Amino acid sequence: MRVQVILNPWADRGRGAQQAELIQRVAQPYGGVDLVQTQRPGHAIELARQAADDGYDMVVAAGGDGTISDVVNGLMRGSKAVTKLGIIPIGSGNDLAWSLKIPTDVAAAVHQLFNGTPKTIDLARIEDDHGRFRIVDNNIGIGFDAIVVIATQNITRVHGFLMYLTATLRTIATYSQMPKITAYFDDEKVEQSIMLIAFGVGPRGGGGFLLTPFAKQNDDLVDTCTANKMGRLSMIGLLLKVFNGSHVHSRRITMRQNKQIRVRADRPMPIHTDGEVFAYPQDNVREVTVTSLPAAIEVIVNEETGD
């Protein structure tokens, strides 16, 4: 079996580069892997596309959720991926790996690549009103949580979940944009002001926030959490509930499951996809469409459970 590992050396604030030797050593008894390192943002997309074209049996993303997302985008051809995906989670959030029960221990994750079971999962596609699109494997955020992702870019002293929590608290202190949106959840039309809309192919984002706790990666549905316009005290109260998913019972929250969602806002929308910025406010994105892509890619998961 030919395996290519695409390693992001900057994953987890530069700790990714330290894992190259371990990955190759653990993989050696299985026939080894071809390992390449990314050199710039978006490079993993190019490397994954080339690996698929070169006929590799599996392409492995060694990095965080952003690296996995880039590799997925490189493997996709239309609505399906052409090559199996492996994951070695060495990022800050590792949310997709958590959902798929892929171990964060690097050696254990490498062993699982060769002893695991393929599991077919859904993806999603987001397209904006400028014609840009991206394939999404875990989550999308419009509004507050996208501003949180932007805020993490200026945090250097902490990493992992603490980085996202720090960014969230800073954003609560300053956030005032509550756009008015017109949205179509399949055929349901909604008009309201929002704090955020979180879209989940998977249940968790930000290393520990269960915004869409009921999301499943094999049901051909995108879960959404729409939070109404609210003040800062209400934001803090909601934050405490998001850690265990109990926010879904709040009167300020509406949970839905749909195949396609279209959102139009009265002002530019900040948007993240899989924890990376898709649109800054200055990009002037005012409308997006999110569509489920069922059974779109095979991922190697735990050999015993297939989970």
Rounded percentage of the chain residues whose pLDDT exceeds 70: 98
Q: Average of pLDDT values for 253-271?
A: 97
Contact 217, 233 (CB under 8 A): no
- Confidence grade of residue 279 (pLDDT, cut at 50, 70, 90): very high
As a whole number, the mean pLDDT across the chain is 94
Contact 133, 110 (CB under 8 A): no
pLDDT of residue 160: 77
pLDDT of residue 141: 97
| Segment among 75-84, 161-170, 269-278 with least mean pLDDT | 161-170
What is the DSSP code string of 66-89? HHHHHHHHHHEETTEESSEEEEEE
pLDDT exceeds cutoff 60 at 70: yes
Structure tokens that stand for 59 in this block: 């392409």
pLDDT exceeds cutoff 60 at 305: no
| Per-residue pLDDT tens digits for 196-220 | 999 999 999 988 999 999 999 999 9
Contact 224, 256 (CB under 8 A): yes
Give the span between the Cα atoms of 227 and 211, in whole angstroms. Answer: 10
Q: Average of pLDDT values for 258-280?
A: 97
Q: Average of pLDDT values for 4-15?
A: 89
- Confidence grade of residue 44 (pLDDT, cut at 50, 70, 90): very high
Which is higher by pLDDT, 56 or 305? 56
Which is higher by pLDDT, 20 or 306? 20
Structure tokens that stand for 274 in this block: 């899989």
Q: Average of pLDDT values for 244-262?
A: 97
pLDDT exceeds cutoff 50 at 306: no
pLDDT of residue 303: 61
| Per-residue pLDDT tens digits for 222-240 | 999 999 999 999 999 999 9
β-pairing, 222-228 with 188-200?
Answer: antiparallel
Contact 90, 62 (CB under 8 A): yes
- Confidence grade of residue 16 (pLDDT, cut at 50, 70, 90): confident
- Confidence grade of residue 243 (pLDDT, cut at 50, 70, 90): very high
Full set of structural domains in the chain with CATH: 3-115 (3.40.50.10330), 127-295 (2.60.200.40)
∠ Cα 22 90 97 (to 5°): 120
For 108, list phi and psi in degrees, rounded to 5: -65, -40
Rounded percentage of the chain residues whose pLDDT exceeds 90: 88
Give the span between the Cα atoms of 185 and 259, in whole angstroms. Answer: 8
| Per-residue pLDDT tens digits for 116-171 | 999 999 999 999 999 999 999 999 999 999 999 999 988 877 777 888 899 999 99
